[in-house]
Homo-oligomer: A and B are copies of this chain.
Amino acid sequence: MPIERIAILGTGLIGASAGLALRSHGFAGTITGWDPSALETRIALETGAIHCAADPAIEAALDVARSSDVILLSGPVFTILEWLDRLAPELTPAQLVTDVGSVKGAICARATGKYNMLEMAGFLPGHPMAGKEVGGAANADGALFENAAWLFTETKDTQGMSPAARTLANDWRAWTARFGSRVLDLAPERHDEVCAWVSHLPQYLATALSALLEDEFPSKEEIQAIGGRALREMTRLGSSPFSMWRDIAHTNTEAVAASILALEQRLQHLRENLKTPELREEFVKANLFRNGL
Where the two chains meet, the residues of A that have a C-beta atom closer than 8 Å to any C-beta of B are 129-131, 133, 148-149, 151, 182, 184, 194-195, 197-199, 201-217, 220, 222-242, 245-246, 249-250, 253, 256-257, 260-264, 266-271, 274-275, 279-280, 282-293
Contact = CB atoms under 8 A, between A and B. Distances in A.
Given A210-B285, A213-B289, A289-B210, A236 B233 contact: yes
A283 to B, nearest CB: 4
Contact of A266 (B212, B237, B262): B212
Q: Report how many copies the assembly holds.
A: 2
A267 B271 contact: no
B293 A262 contact: no
B293 A226 contact: no
A286 B238 contact: yes
Contacts of A198: 213, 223, 226-228, 230-231
A271 to B, nearest CB: 4
B148 A263 contact: no
Contact of A267 (B129, B260, B286, B290): B260
19 contacts: A130-B229, A151-B226, A184-B226, A206-B230, A208-B266, A211-B266, A211-B289, A214-B285, A214-B288, A227-B293, A233-B234, A234-B234, A240-B286, A242-B283, A245-B283, A246-B279, A249-B274, A260-B268, A264-B264
Contacts of A184: 225-226
A270 B207 contact: yes
A197 B225 contact: no
Nearest to A223: B198
Nearest to A227: B198
Given A211-B285, A231-B293, A239-B287, 8 more contacts: A184-B225, A202-B230, A202-B231, A208-B263, A210-B287, A234-B237, A239-B286, A249-B274
Contacts of A194: 222-223, 226
A293 B228 CA distance: 11
Contacts of A275: 249-250, 253
Contacts of A232: 293
A148 B261 CA distance: 34
A265 to B, nearest CB: 9
A286 B226 contact: no
A182 B223 CA distance: 13
A206 B234 contact: yes
A293 B235 contact: yes
A287 B237 CA distance: 9
Given A207-B286, A223-B194, A280-B246, A274 B256 contact: yes
A263 B209 contact: yes
